[in-house]
Amino acid sequence: KAGVTQTPRYLIKTRGQQVTLSCSPISGHRSVSWYQQTPGQGLQFLFEYFSETQRNKGNFPGRFSGRQFSNSRSEMNVSTLELGDSALYLCASSLAGQDNEKLFFGSGTQLSVL
């Protein structure tokens, strides 16, 4: 079974631009969540999608948004990029539901904002 796939692997953008990251979950997994990882900050929760609906949202500004498609693939968008947005963005999928919370992570997209 293929794992969680994230594209692209690396991105370099400049301040003010926008970026879209993609995540394909493990087949059969309906929940996709996104995390921002920066040195010293660990993983910070961005949002979770299930059946094309955003169920939960972390404490990030509205510049960070996402969506989920009917095949459970998800995209994350960051508009008006700032230098502080440079980070590794990880997505994770899970079966969801009671006792099915286990997260399986992708390899991440390393975003650098210049």
Among 10, 28, 41, 84, the residue binding another protein under the rule CB under 8 A is: 41
Q: Which of 23, 108, 109, 113 binds another protein (CB under 8 A)?
A: 108
CB 50 within 8 A of CB 96: yes
- Closest separation in Å from C-beta 17 to another protein: 25
Distance (Å, whole) CA 103 – CA 20: 22
Query: Is residue 34 a contact point for another protein (CB under 8 A)?
Result: no
For another protein, the closer of residues 65 and 107 by Cβ is: 107
Residues in CB range of 45: below 8 A, 6 or more apart: 33, 34, 35, 56, 58
Grouping H, G, I as helix, E, B as strand and the rest as coil, residue 85 is helix
| Chain residues that interact with another protein, rule: CB under 8 A | 4, 31, 33, 35, 40-45, 48, 50, 55-56, 58-59, 90, 94, 96, 99, 101-108
